[in-house]
């Protein structure tokens, strides 16, 4: 998978929101230690609506439809996903526990291509529209999407999907998204997020 953070709101906007509530705009130190500590304080207090002014836009490529289905269950976010009505997927995600079973040839990527891909292509060659041929694609096929999510919702996403109970692929996605965040955001808005999901 490939994850890029293509846009985000600077932390100053959260400081402005918090300091407007407290009428302390004049006490800002222009994102110095005082402002950063203030953000950590509102996180620990749970005054999280002030973080909704921060949004992050991710470009996510090469995740399976299994993973994207889990991802879009996070309703407090916006998504634009590659359409398999109009485009063909290019690859499969093979779970490591299957890929490592080298003796089980039936599960190798090449054979998946043979069994599934050839049939899908044959349907399209026979004039079946992509939107109908896709019914025979496995959930392993890859997809791409753009996701925009605010900081409050992203905290909820990390809490659920960095956890050890989350499945490996969405957990890997959450890790990649976390690591793409600017350091000053990680150290303030997300200071208490545990990458190890302990």
Ligand X SMILES: Cc1cc2nc3c(=O)[nH]c(=O)nc-3n(C[C@H](O)[C@H](O)[C@H](O)COP(=O)(O)OP(=O)(O)OC[C@H]3O[C@@H](n4cnc5c(N)ncnc54)[C@H](O)[C@@H]3O)c2cc1C
Q: Which residues are catalytic?
A: 161
Task: Dihedral sign for Cα 192, 195, 196, 197, please.
Answer: positive
Q: Is 164 in the site for ligand X (CB under 6 A)?
A: no
Size of the site for ligand X (CB under 6 A): 9
Q: Dihedral, CA atoms, 89, 94, 99, 104, nearest 10 degrees? A: -70
Q: Is 172 in the site for ligand X (CB under 6 A)?
A: no
10 Å Cβ neighbour count for 44?
A: 10
CA atoms within 13 A on the CB side of 181: 28
Binding test (CB under 6 A) with ligand X, winner from 128, 146, 160, 187: 160
Residue with Cβ nearer ligand X (47 or 109): 47
Q: Is 150 in the site for ligand X (CB under 6 A)?
A: no
Residue appearing with tokens 């400081």? 15
Nearest CA to 149 out of 1, 3, 8, 43 is that of: 8
Kindly tell me the number of DSSP H helices and DSSP E strands found in the chain: 10, 4
Q: Is 145 in the site for ligand X (CB under 6 A)?
A: no
CA atoms within 13 A on the CB side of 157: 26
Q: Is 17 in the site for ligand X (CB under 6 A)?
A: no
Minimum distance from CB of 73 to ligand X (Å)?
4
Q: Is 114 in the site for ligand X (CB under 6 A)?
A: no
Mark 47-76 with x for binding to ligand X (rule: CB under 6 A) and - for no binding: --------------------------xxxx
Cα 20 to Cα 12, 46, 50, 153: the distances in Å are 12, 17, 10, 22
Minimum distance from CB of 97 to ligand X (Å)?
18
Minimum distance from CB of 161 to ligand X (Å)?
6
Minimum distance from CB of 139 to ligand X (Å)?
15
Binding residues among 29-48 for ligand X as defined by CB under 6 A: none
Residue with Cβ nearer ligand X (38 or 147): 147
Ordered alpha helix ranges (H), 46-191: 65-71, 96-99, 109-112, 118-125, 130-133, 151-161, 168-180, 183-186
Minimum distance from CB of 76 to ligand X (Å)?
4
Residues that bind ligand X (CB under 6 A): 73-76, 153, 156, 160, 165-166
């Amino acid at each position: 998978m490939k994850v890029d953070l293509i846009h985000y709101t600077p932390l100053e906007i959260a400081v402005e929101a918090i300091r407007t509530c407290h009428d302390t705009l004049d006490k800002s130190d222009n994102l110095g230690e005082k402002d950063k500590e203030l953000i950590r304080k509102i996180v620990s207090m749970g005054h999280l609506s002030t973080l909704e002014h921060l949004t992050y836009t991710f470009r996510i490529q090469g995740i399976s439809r299994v993973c994207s289905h889990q991802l879009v269950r996070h309703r407090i976010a916006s998504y634009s996903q590659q359409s398999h009505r109009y485009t063909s997927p290019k690859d499969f995600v093979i779970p490591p526990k299957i890929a490592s079973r080298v003796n089980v040839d039936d599960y190798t990527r090449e054979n998946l291509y043979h069994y599934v891909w050839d049939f899908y292509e044959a349907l399209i060659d026979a004039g079946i529209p992509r939107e109908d041929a896709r019914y025979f694609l496995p959930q392993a096929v890859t997809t791409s999407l753009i996701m925009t999510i605010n900081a409050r919702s992203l905290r909820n996403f990390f809490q659920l999907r960095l956890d050890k109970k989350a499945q490996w692929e969405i957990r890997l996605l959450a890790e990649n998204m976390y690591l793409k965040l600017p350091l000053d955001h990680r150290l303030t808005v997300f200071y208490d997020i545990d990458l190890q999901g302990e």
